[in-house]
Amino acid sequence: MPTTAPTKNTTLQIGPHTVRTPVVLAPMAGITNAPFRTLCRHFAEGAGFAGDEGFAGGEAKGGDGGFKALFVSEMITTRALVERNEKTMQLIHFDATEKPRSIQLYGVDPATVGKAVRMIAEEGLADHIDLNFGCPVPKVTRKGGGSALPYKRHLLRAILREAVSGAGDLPVTMKMRKGIDDDHITYLDAGRIAVEEGVTAIALHGRTAAQHYGGTADWEAIARLKEHVPEIPVLGNGDIWSAEDALRMVRETGCDGVVVGRGCLGRPWLFADLVAAFEGRTEDIARPSLREVADVMLRHAGLLGEWIGDESKGVVDFRKHVAWYLKGFAVGSEMRRRLAITSSLAELRAGLDELDLDQPWPAGADGPRGRTSGNNRVVLPDGWLKDPYDCAGVGEDAELDTSGG
Ligand SMILES: Cc1cc2nc3c(=O)[nH]c(=O)nc-3n(C[C@H](O)[C@H](O)[C@H](O)COP(=O)(O)O)c2cc1C
């Protein structure tokens, strides 16, 4: 099906921040750190596959002075932030040129969330705060956090109230799932509460916690939420694998913007396609050769090393990205395995140099990537579902240093 440029105004307003194309990089724990955001931003700004020169990571290259898209940090635990945990302080590091700086927070205790948000506002640590109510991992939901939390309406309200009041002029957004499972759907109530508490925008991942990443995202729910809370921007999330999908989501749901996660794993240049599509250049689709992909891989690994302050640790952290970057290319399993255990840039470069780098972009690289499994039971605190309004039993000890989405 040919892509169709959207007809409505596609600028996204997040409080004082004007985002020129309504595209948001989804927070992903262990992935959307400063180096990955730099790469995505680089492509969003139209800088292309120009080797090291092209990866300077400097000022916006779009030349029109606006922010092309929004790139959200991985989730930061509020307790760890207020305790100034060393790793957490590194995770909230932004590249000097990142603007607006978006931090995603995870918390279950209104007072701790309030403290974390005030700390960010007072110390100028970010320009936008997103709150995570979508995490389905058992370590989090077992404590009533993440995607379990919106079921407790009063608790959700209390957290949002603390966050919005503590944030001062900083916009506060929230990201959630449809609910815990098909029998405990919460997104419409949560959306209304968010509007009443002054939340600036809401992102909805069209799955329940029980679905994890299985099945297909329910875009109908995104449309329902937009109808239910017309006062604020609704951002649709789930199963955008191409720019064409992003335009289709906006067209079919009426949402104000898209949040893209797994589709850009090993494919940060998807942001070039997304921006081009929303600017009406729907035929502008990046199809890098393996040589160009290899350049991005080296750059990504190198940026991770610079960020961590240790080249080897950067390359080790990069290992998880190798299979995503190579998806669909003709690279044997032994070579894939070798590339995924390298410990230095020289080793990674040498391995990549052995590949047939003239391979064009393979059709098999399009479509789903990353986690796709689901239908797990949601682990909840005892008696959690008995009363959607009672929040006894949720306290500071639910504030874990756990990541996920
Ligand atoms: C590896 C990984 C880590 C994630 N971490 C977070 C997170 O820290 N916070 C969050 O709100 N969602 C997180 N998510 C969920 C994504 O933000 C997104 O909602 C989900 O992947 C669905 O969007 P997609 O279909 O575009 O991938 C994570 C997803 C993945 C695959």
What are the pLDDT digits (tens) for 170-217?
999 999 999 999 999 999 999 999 999 999 999 999 999 999 999 999
Atom of ligand 1 lying closest to residue 75 CA: 8
Nearest CA to ligand 1 atom 19: 205
Place of tokens 């250049």: 281
Whose CA is closest to atom 21 on ligand 1? 261
Q: Can you give the pLDDT at residue 64?
A: 45
CB under 6 Å to ligand 1: residues?
26-29, 31, 74-75, 104, 132, 134-135, 175, 205, 237-240, 260-263, 370-371, 403-405
Residue 253 CA to ligand 1 centre (angstroms): 20
Angstrom CA distances, 253 to 22, 219, 220, 282, stand at: 14, 7, 7, 19
Question: Residue 171 phi/psi, 5° resolution?
Answer: -70, 140
DSSP assignment of 183-210 equals TEE-HHHHHHHHHHTT--EEEEEEEEGG
Beta pairing partners, 202: 174, 234
Task: Label residue 392 by pLDDT band (50, 70, 90).
Answer: low
Question: Quick one: what percent of the chain has pLDDT higher than 90?
Answer: 84
pLDDT value at residue 63: 41
Query: 350: CA distance to ligand 1 center in Å?
Result: 32
Tell me if residue 40 is catalytic: no
The pLDDT tens digits for 267-295 are: 999 999 999 999 999 899 999 999 999 99
Residue-wise pLDDT for 104-154, tens only, equals 999 999 999 999 999 999 999 999 999 999 999 999 999 999 999 999 999
- For ligand 1, the distance from its centroid to the CA atom of residue 296, given in whole angstroms, is 22
Q: 357: CA distance to ligand 1 center in Å?
A: 31
Contact, 42 vs 57, CB < 8 A? yes
Percentage, residues of the chain above pLDDT 70? 90
Question: Looking at residue 341, what is its pLDDT?
Answer: 97
The continuous run of DSSP H or E covering 36 comes out as helix 34-44
Give the model's pLDDT for residue 403. Answer: 43
Whole-angstrom distance, CA of residue 245 vs CA of residue 202: 20
- Distance (angstroms) between ligand 1 centre and the Cα of 74 equals 9
Give CA separation, 389 vs 7, 136, 151, 189, in Å: 41, 20, 8, 12
Residue 271, H or E segment: helix 270-278
Please tell me the predicted confidence (pLDDT) of residue 280.
94
Structure tokens given for 30: 């262990």
Asked if the model's pLDDT at residue 58 lies above 70, the reply is no
User: Which tokens belong to 306?
Assistant: 């610079």
Q: Which of 205, 249, 273, 372 to mutate to test the pocket of ligand 1 (most atoms within 8 A of CB)?
A: 205
Q: Which of 135, 255, 264, 391 is catalytic?
A: 135
Nearest CA residue ID for atom 20, ligand 1: 261
**219-228 residue pLDDT tens:** 999 999 999 9
Distance 351 CA to ligand 1 centre (A): 30
Tell me the whole-structure pTM to 2 decimals.
Answer: 0.94
Q: What is the pLDDT of residue 393?
A: 57
Q: Stretch 21-46: mean pLDDT, rounded?
A: 96
Cα dihedral 60, 66, 68, 70 in deg (nearest 10): 100
Q: What is the arithmetic mean of pLDDT over 352-376?
A: 91
CA of 245 to the centre of ligand 1 (A): 17
Amino acid 205: pLDDT: 98
pLDDT at 391 over 90: no
Token duo for residue 54: 């092209």
**Hey, what are 15's tokens?**
């409080």
Query: At 405, is the pLDDT very low, low, confident or very high (cuts 50, 70, 90)?
Result: very low
**Cα 262 to Cα 265: distance, rounded to the nearest angstrom:** 5
At residue 48, the pLDDT reads 85
pLDDT of 371 reads 87
Cβ within 8 Å of residue 28, ≥6 positions away: 74, 261, 262, 265, 405
For the residues 311-338, what does the mean pLDDT come to?
97
pLDDT band at 21 (very low <50, low <70, confident <90, very high): very high
Closest residue CA from atom 4 of ligand 1: 28
What is the three-class DSSP state of 171?
coil
Q: Quick one: average pLDDT of 333-345? A: 97
C-alpha distance across the termini of the chain, in Å: 31
Mean pLDDT of the chain: 91
Candidate of 23, 25, 28 to mutate for ligand 1, largest count of ligand atoms within 8 Å of Cβ = 28
Q: Which atom of ligand 1 is nearest to the CA of 239?
A: 25
Q: In the chain, what is the greatest distance between 2 CA atoms, to the nearest angstrom?
A: 61
Atom 14 of ligand 1, residue of closest alpha carbon: 405
Residue nearest to atom 3 of ligand 1 (CA): 28
